[in-house]
């Protein structure tokens, strides 16, 4: 019988070392509802194909996953459109902040990648054309692949985003002017705000990421949802674009395909080997969790999990 290593002590040690960083950075208070989140929260969860889930800290407390949801909406759109998806959105790092409008004019309304806000709006538009109630379909898909039936939206967060989402509204209208949004702008925005408001814990996020760990299958779904080739493409975009204009630094320091969210979560995946999620609400200048990024760096160095 193979002995499975218990990673819990390592996870606990990593959290202990990065905890001082929770006092630095800034909670995403430009979305007022997120400004109320306790910056002292800190959790981490690890999923291994043959060892289950290991947790430490606040790994079972749910938080607003925000842009981590873009991984799941990208998968849904990719399943529906295949490579035709890349006619609507690019696959290149943007080199600009996640909410920048600068490149949209020079690129004629084609966002650089699906993980910046402009790209996620195009993906949301695709889902609006594929599903009658796109936001409910997104929620159901996440429940399906995680095996957790009571995952839900935080309506207060969604409302807060809608009331203060001026830049996202500007992006959506600008993209619409180039013909790269088909659905009504308000439908796209509401779908986007709701998907970002979905609440999950670190433990639930790594279970949802089983889909990528297992090359397109998950124990909770009988059918194959992605091909191994599609999994490689999704995780490659996570590596090059998943942490916005800090993606190069993340690849250099951490070596893990990852997707961050301004709720303070970061989800990292190595297909065939593991999924790791860390949550700490205070963000760095780029919009990535400050303590979370350092936790990933320490864990990667000590465990040897990396794509390099």
State pTM to two decimals.
0.96
Q: Tens of pLDDT along the chain (308 residues)? A: 456 689 999 999 999 999 999 999 999 998 999 999 999 999 999 999 987 999 999 999 999 999 999 999 999 999 999 999 999 999 999 877 777 788 898 899 999 999 999 999 999 999 999 999 999 999 999 999 999 999 999 999 999 999 999 999 999 999 999 999 999 999 999 999 999 999 999 999 999 999 999 999 988 788 899 999 999 999 999 999 999 889 999 999 999 999 999 999 999 999 999 999 999 999 999 999 999 999 999 999 999 998 88
Q: What is the DSSP string of 187-200?
A: HHHHHHHHHHHEEE
Residue 267 lies in a domain: yes
Asked if the structure places residue 106 within a domain, the reply is: yes
- Residue 174 pLDDT: 96
**125 part of a folded domain:** yes
The reported pLDDT for the residue numbered 41 is: 98
- Is 30 designated active site? no
262 is catalytic: yes
Per-residue model confidence (pLDDT) at position 1? 46
Give the strand order in the sheet containing 52-57.
52-57, 43-48, 274-279, 265-270, 258-260
CATH of the domain at 12: 3.40.710.10
Which of 122, 262, 270, 278 is catalytic? The answer is 262
Of the candidates 192, 201, 206, 280, the residue annotated as catalytic is 192
Positive or negative, the Cα torsion across 49, 53, 57, 60? positive
Residue 274 lies in a domain: yes
pLDDT digits (tens, 9 = 90+) for 101-130: 888 988 999 999 999 999 999 999 999 999
What local confidence, expressed as pLDDT, does residue 221 receive? 80
pLDDT in tens, 51-74: 799 999 999 999 999 999 999 999
Chain centroid to CA 145: 15
The catalytic residue among 197, 244, 259, 260 is 244
Q: Is 208 a domain residue? A: yes
What domain range is 132 assigned to?
Answer: 8-303
Q: How many domains does the chain have?
A: 1
Q: Which of 14, 47, 70, 213 is catalytic?
A: 70
308 domain-assigned: no
From the candidates 18, 47, 64, 67, which is the catalytic residue?
67
Alpha helices in the chain (DSSP H): 8-18, 69-81, 102-106, 117-130, 134-146, 155-164, 166-177, 185-197, 202-208, 210-213, 228-241, 247-253, 290-303
Q: Is residue 266 part of a domain?
A: yes
| 78: in domain | yes
Are 41 and 63 in contact by the 8 Å Cβ rule? The answer is yes
Active-site residue, 26 included: no
What pLDDT does 222 receive? 80
pLDDT of the residue at 3: 63
Say how far residue 287 (Cα) sits from the centre of its chain: 12
């Amino acid at each position: 019988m193979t002995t499975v290593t218990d990673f819990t002590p390592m996870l606990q040690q990593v959290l202990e070392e990065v905890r001082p960083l929770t006092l630095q950075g800034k909670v995403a208070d430009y979305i007022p509802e997120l400004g109320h989140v306790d910056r002292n929260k800190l959790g981490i969860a690890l999923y291994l194909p043959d060892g289950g889930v290991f947790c430490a800290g606040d790994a079972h407390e749910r938080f607003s996953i925000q842009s981590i949801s873009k991984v799941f909406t990208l998968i849904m759109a990719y399943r529906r459109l295949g490579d035709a998806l890349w006619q609507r959105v690019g696959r290149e790092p943007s080199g600009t902040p996640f909410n920048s409008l600068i490149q949209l004019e020079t690129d004629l309304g084609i966002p650089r990648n699906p993980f910046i806000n402009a790209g996620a709006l195009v993906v949301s538009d695709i889902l609006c054309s594929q599903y009658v109630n796109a936001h409910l379909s997104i929620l159901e898909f996440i429940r399906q692949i995680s095996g957790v039936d009571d995952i839900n939206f935080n309506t207060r967060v969604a409302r807060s985003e809608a009331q203060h989402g001026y830049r996202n509204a500007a992006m959506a209208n600008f993209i619409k002017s180039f013909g790269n949004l088909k659905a009504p702008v308000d439908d796209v925005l509401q779908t986007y705000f709701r998907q970002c408001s979905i609440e999950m814990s670190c433990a639930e996020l790594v279970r949802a990421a089983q889909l990528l760990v297992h090359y397109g299958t998950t124990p909770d779904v009988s059918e194959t949802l992605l091909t191994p080739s599609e999994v490689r493409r999704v995780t490659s975009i996570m590596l090059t674009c998943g942490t916005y204009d800090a993606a190069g630094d993340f690849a250099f320091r951490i070596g893990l395909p990852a997707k961050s969210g301004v709720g303070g979560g970061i989800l990292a995946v190595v297909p065939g080997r593991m999924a790791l999620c860390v949550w700490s609400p205070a963000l760095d200048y780029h919009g990535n969790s400050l303590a979370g990024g350092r936790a990933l760096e320490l864990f990667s160095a000590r465990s040897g999990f990396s794509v390099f």
